[in-house]
Amino acid sequence: MIMFATPAITMISQLRRGRGLSRSASQASACDVVVCKVPLSLKDQERYCLRLLLLHVRGATSYNHLKTVNGVLHDTFKAAALALGLLFDDNVWKLTLQDAVTLHMPKQLRELFAYICVFGPPTNPDQLWTLFKENLVEDYCLHLHNQTGYCCKCEGYAMQDVQNILLLHGKTFADFNLPHPKIQLPQAPQYNEASELLLATELRISLNEQQQIAYDTIVSAIQNQASANPKFFFIDGPGGSGKTYLYDVLMHHVRGLGKQVLMSATTGIAANLLNEGRTMHSLSGIPVPVNEISVSRIKQDTVAGKLLHNASLLILDECTMTPKYALTLIDRLLREVKTTKVAEKNVIPFGGKVFVIGGDFRQCLPVIPSGSRTDIIESSLKMSELWKNLTKLQLINNILSTDPDYSQWLPKLGNGELTNQYNLGEDLIEIPEDMLCKDCIVTEVFGQRFNIDVNDKTNVNKASSYAILCAKNEDVALLNSRVLDCMPGEYKLYKSDDSIDVDNEDECEHYPVEFLNSVTPSGMPSHILKIGTIMLLLRNLNTKQGLCNGMRLIVTGMY
C-alpha cells in the first residue's frame, strides 16, 4: 500500500519504528493508516498541487509517477499540475495587467502586480515582470531622466515599491522567484527627537486624570526596562474614552527618547487609525487562523525580527478580538528575538518588552465559527496564563460623546446593568424611546432621496460618514436594497457564475443559468449597483495606504 505522508505522519511512523512497533507489510492492517487532514492554501503551491494530483491521478505509485505527464517527468508538482490542466495559466494575469496599463498610472500598476503575486499567485511572475517592466518603471524614467525608456536603476526603484507591499503580507521577491531589488530598502524611519518630545509635551496637557495615571505608569516601565519586573499592561476603556489619544502621546514621547515604537491592531481598520499602525498578523507573523500549535514566521535574524528586538514599546489595540493563542505566540516570539545567546532561555514575559494592549471586553470577543458562549469565553485573552502578569489601567470617562444621557446609558449597556420593565429576559434590553427612529431607518439616516456626486469630495465624505450596523447578513441585504432604491440613476446588473465545473456533464442540467446568475456567496455584495454606491473592501491590501479590510470605497464608474 502506498501512503503519501504529511510530516506529522512521517514523524509518527518514525516513533513507531523507534519503539519496535513496526509491522511487516504482510501484517499491516487498517489501524496502521494514519489520517491527517492538513488545510492547504494556494499560497503553499507545491503541497496544494500535490493534493490536486492525488485527486486526479489514479493508481499513483510514487511521487515521480505523479510528476510524470504524457511520458514527461516534470521537476515540480506545480509543473505537472499545469501540464494536466489542473491550474490556470498566466494568461488571465496578462490580460488583467494589459487592461490596467491603459487605465492606471505606473504606481497603481506596481500595486496591482504585488497583489497578483500575493493573492494569485501567477505561475511565472518573473515572465510577467519582464513583459510589463517598461510600463512598471515608466514614471521613474520620466522623473529621473525626463524621458521614457528602461534602465536598471529605474527598475530597482520600481522593484523596491513592489517589495514594500510584499513585506506587508510577509512575502519577499524570493518567494516568487523574482530577482532581489537592486536598490537598498529603507531602514526604520528616523525622527527628530527634539520635535517629538516637544509634541508629546504639548499633547500631555490634554490628558485627563485617568489617562495621566496610565501614561506615568507605562513611561516608568520604559525608563526601567532593564528590570525583571513584568511590563504587560491592559488599558481597559470603552469606545470614546481616549485610548488612541493616549497611544499617540506615548508614541511621541518614546520617539523623543530616541527609541522605537511599534503600533498594531487586531483588524486592518483599527490599524489604519493608528500612527504607522500595522495589523497584529503582519507585525508578529501570526498565521490565520491561529491555534495552540501555531508558530510565527518571523525569525530572529530577519529584518522583522530585528525590528521587534529594537522596539522599546509595543502597542496592540482592539485586543479583545484576539484569541489567547495569539498572545502566547507573541510572548514566545518576543522572548526569542530578545535572546542573545543560543543556549540562553528568556523566562521574562514578552522578553522584558513593554507591551501595552487596549480594548473593551464589552465589545467584540474572538470569533469562533459555530462556537458556543463557553467556547468564545474560553478562547478570550482573560483565559490565557499570561493574563496574571498583567497590570490593568482603566479609562472610564467618554470624552467623545456630547450627549450626557447617551454617555451614561452606554456603559450600563456594556456592563449588563440595564433592565426592562417587561421582564423579557437577559438577552433583551429596553432602548429609550428618544434613541429610536421615528420613520424607516434608511430614510432616517440617508433621507428620502439622496444623490452622491462622485466628483464632489465634500459630498462623498458626507455620504460616507453615514452607516447602519446590522447583526445579520439578511438584514444587511434588505437595507442595502432600500438604500439603492433611494439613490437616483440607473441600475447595472453584474451576473454571477454562468457555468459549473463537475466531472459528470449530466449534472450541469440540474443547475440552470438563471439559478447560477442569482447565486450570491455569503459576505459578497449584491449583483445590482449604481454610480455612487459605497462598498467595503474585504482584503488587507496595503494598510499603510488605508487599503484594508473594512475600508469604504465608492463606485465611480461601471464597465
Domain match, 103 and 78 both: no
Domain match, 160 and 217 both: no
Domain match, 67 and 102 both: no
Cis? peptide before 125, omega within 30° of 0: no
Write down the number of H helices and E strands in the chain.
22, 12
Domain presence at residue 338: yes
Q: Could you say which DSSP state residue 74 is in?
A: -
**Cβ neighbourhood burial of 90 (10 Å; 0-12, 13-18, 19+):** buried
SS3 356: strand
Domain match, 208 and 288 both: yes
Q: What is the pLDDT along the chain (559 residues), one digit of tens a residue?
A: 333 333 333 333 333 333 333 344 344 444 454 545 555 555 567 887 888 888 888 888 899 999 998 889 998 888 888 888 777 677 888 888 888 888 778 888 898 999 888 887 787 888 888 888 888 888 888 776 666 666 777 888 888 888 888 877 778 888 887 877 766 644 445 678 888 999 999 999 999 999 999 999 999 998 887 676 778 999 998 888 889 999 999 999 999 988 889 999 888 778 878 888 888 888 888 888 888 888 888 888 877 888 888 888 999 998 988 899 999 999 989 888 877 655 566 678 888 889 999 998 888 888 888 888 888 889 999 999 889 888 999 888 877 777 788 878 887 887 777 777 777 777 777 888 888 887 788 878 877 666 666 677 777 777 777 888 887 878 888 888 888 887 778 888 877 666 677 767 677 667 776 677 677 766 666 678 888 888 888 777 877 777 877 788 888 888 7
The confidence score (pLDDT) of residue 357 equals 92
> What is the chain's Cα-based Rg?
28
Domain match, 429 and 483 both: no
Domain match, 300 and 156 both: no
- Domain with residue 248: its CATH number is 3.40.50.300
The confidence score (pLDDT) of residue 21 equals 36
The confidence score (pLDDT) of residue 9 equals 33
Domain presence at residue 181: no
Domain presence at residue 123: yes
pTM: 0.64
CA distance 215 to 207: 9
Instruction: Give the number of other Cβ atoms within 10 Å of residue 70's Cβ.
Output: 6
Domain match, 452 and 414 both: no
The confidence score (pLDDT) of residue 104 equals 77
Domain presence at residue 253: yes
Domain presence at residue 528: yes
CB-CB contact of 78 with 90 (8 Å)? no
User: What's the total number of domains in the chain?
Assistant: 5
Last residue of a domain, one of 130, 149, 176: 176
Q: Which of 556, 460, 471, 537 is nearest to 269 (CA)?
A: 537
Last residue of a domain, one of 83, 109, 131: 83
Question: CA of 363: how far to CAs of 239, 366, 375, 411, 469, in Å?
Answer: 9, 10, 17, 11, 14
Domain match, 47 and 106 both: no
CA distance 285 to 287: 6
DSSP H or E stretch at residue 299:
none
Give the cell for residue 546. Answer: 488605508
CB-CB contact of 265 with 273 (8 Å)? yes
The confidence score (pLDDT) of residue 235 equals 92
Domain presence at residue 1: no
Domain match, 425 and 534 both: no
For 120, list phi and psi in degrees, rounded to 5. Answer: -70, -75
Domain match, 376 and 496 both: no
The confidence score (pLDDT) of residue 18 equals 38
Domain presence at residue 328: yes
Last residue of a domain, one of 394, 424, 459: 394
Domain holding 166, by residue range, is 91-176
**In the chain, what's the furthest Cα-to-Cα distance?**
81
Domain presence at residue 186: no
Domain match, 162 and 198 both: no
Domain match, 198 and 313 both: yes
